[in-house]
Chains A and B, each alone.
Chain A
Amino acid sequence: MSELINIENYESYYLDFLEGNLNESDTALLLDFLDENPFLKVDDSEFSVIYPDDSFQLDSLSKSLLKFRAFDQIINHENIEYFLIASIEKQLSEDKTKELQQFLVKNPSFLIDLQHYERAHLVADDSIIYHDKQKLRRGIIIPMYARFLAAAAGIALFFSIINLNQIDSPKGLAHSGVKNEKEKVKTEVKNEFPTEVSAKNTSEEANNVSFRKLVSRNEKLIENSQNENINPLGFKSLQKLNNRPLLNDIAITYIKPFVKENLTDEFSDNTFAALEMKNPILPITSRIGEAINQQIDFKTTKAAHKKPGGFLFKIGKFEISRKVYDNSSVALK
């Protein structure tokens, strides 16, 4: 070149210098120029980009992975890593597995590598457990709620049917274990209805007279009750009672329908509202109530001495309850 090196042409000199093609005189000129203009010098790190180090070579595994049908190669020192891993990965055919075994017999130093590959297999730690599985669950899974509600409804229905039968049937009443309470009610009825007559193990004639009076009284009561809009359930049973044949051996006692107005003080003081009742399945009833958008209540209490027990089951406006007085009295609302 041997021309004056300047900012316009120094790059061509520089490239020749880096490639080793610059003669001594031009090299001296270039170095002088670079000393005068140090900002034009190329860093050593940039040299490596231009002249890559020979030590940076693609490893044998990478080369094997790049090859097409690498498994078909003959196993040698260059590709042994590839076949060792393939063996661990169970990718080798039977022939290649035998070839690898033969190679390892001839070159036992690679057995250690094979052992390392076998040990480098990851094993899941089973002690690591996700504890919040319940939060992940989906769908309506309330079989216990449904069962509880169904059981409660079934029990309530069962008792309601039994109690209806007892009210309908004077015999049922006689056999329902209410003998202790019967006298109290009878006294109360007599006081309130002076013309009431009770027949008890008397003659047939006396029974007939008493019963006719009772029937007459019932008819008046039905008329009055229709005007006063009192619970028709009880009167329906009284209407049925009118048509029943006279019985000699049964103590027939007129019992007023179980409406609040006719309860004795003891009864009225012990209404369900006055009782300390608890809902044993409050979460269930509240949840189901929310689900069907209806108020649901289920309360129970145990009967104690002079204190009634029973249950109250309510869905919206529908309400059913059972009251027990020392196991001797049952009232159905």
Chain B
Amino acid sequence: MNSKEYNIAVDTYSDNVYRFALKHLKNEMSAKDIVQDTFLKVWLKHEEVQAEKVKSYLFTTAYHCIIDWINKEKRNGDFKKVSDNLSSPKSLEFDVSDILEEALNRLPEIQKSVILLRDYEGYNYAEIAEITKLNESQVKVYIFRARQALKVYLKSRELVA
């Protein structure tokens, strides 16, 4: 991948990587840091990365950056506090996107990752497996569980409303 192709990847995928990180971290500054780290790492390897595989490479890198960040924050005891604040229901007003946001925040990190990659980026199981270093069966299990959890939460909130 040359510098021109790299810059095209910046234009094409930086928003996607940013959203992916933001959904995990719930912190704009941290999400931007993840985007910076991700693209820096990809740039350092740009000569080895094929242009047609750069998206997968970007999300793989971003995913591992996010996991590292979460582990680091958990050690510091900051991440749970942030997540809890954001995941607590704010109102009983029914809004599907808000409820799904809440439900998403309640998912385990790995389920959140695979469902975001699936729904936001449209990756298939094999691609998600490559990004997350899981096998396809594991990806399928996590996606099915995540879907069920989202549906249960959505249904429960509808009943409350």
Are A and B associated in one complex? Answer: yes
Extra pairs beyond A116-B155, A122-B116 (4, CB < 8 Å): A61-B144, A122-B120, A133-B14, A139-B4
Q: Is A4 an interface residue (CB 8 A)?
A: no
- Selected from A62, A89, A117, the residue in CB contact (under 8 A) with B151 is A117
Asked whether B71 is an interface residue with its Cβ less than 8 Å from the other chain, the reply is: no
User: Residue A58 at the B interface, CB < 8 A?
Assistant: no
CA gap between A81 and B144 in the complex, in Å: 9
Interfacial chain A residues near B7, Cβ < 8 Å: 137-139, 141
- A33: CB under 8 A from chain B? no
Is the CB–CB distance between A122 and B119 below 8 Å?
A: yes
Chain A 71-103 against B: per-residue CB contact (8 Å), 1 yes, 0 no? 000000000011001101100000000000000
Q: Are B150 and A136 in contact (CB under 8 A)?
A: no
* Cβ–Cβ < 8 Å partners of B36 in chain A: 132, 135-136
Number of A-B contacts defined by CB within 8 Å: 87
A130 to chain B: which residues have CB within 8 Å? Answer: 14-15, 17-18, 32, 35
- CB–CB A124/B120 < 8 A: yes
| Interface presence of A125 (CB below 8 A) | yes
Structural contact, B19 and A136, CB atoms closer than 8 A: no
In the complex, the answer to whether B147 meets A138 with C-beta atoms within 8 Å is: no
* A61 cross-chain contacts in B, Cβ below 8 A: 144-145, 148
Taking CB as reference atom, which chain B residue is nearest A88? B147
Q: Does A144 contact B (CB under 8 A)?
A: no
Cα of A85 to Cα of B100 in the assembled complex, Å: 16
Q: Is B57 located at the chain interface by the 8 A CB criterion? A: no
CB-nearest residue of chain B relative to A134? B10
Q: Is B11 an interface residue (CB 8 A)?
A: yes
Name the A residues within 8 Å of B18 (CB-CB): 128-130
* Contact present for A136 and B148 (CB under 8 Å): no
Q: Is A121 an interface residue (CB 8 A)?
A: yes
In the assembled complex, which residues on chain A have CB atoms less than 8 Å from the CB atom of B140?
65
Q: How far is the CA of A140 from the CA of B7 in the complex (A)?
A: 11
With a CB–CB cut-off of 8 A, which chain B residues contact A122?
100, 104, 115-116, 119-120, 150
Q: How far is the CB of B105 from chain A (nearest CB, A)?
A: 12
Q: Which residue of A lies closest to B112 (CB)?
A: A122
Q: How far apart sit A61 and B149, CA to CA, in the bound complex (Å)? A: 11
Contacts of B67 in A (CB 8 A): none
A120 located at the interface, meaning its Cβ lies under 8 Å from any Cβ of chain B in the complex: yes
Asked whether B63 is an interface residue with its Cβ less than 8 Å from the other chain, the reply is no
B88-138 residues at the A interface, CB under 8 angstroms: 96-97, 100, 103-104, 115-116, 119-120
A133→B11 contact, CB < 8 A:
yes
Q: Which of A65, A125, A126, A135 contacts B141 (CB 8 A)?
A: A65
Which of B22, B151, B155 is in CB contact (< 8 Å) with A128?
B22
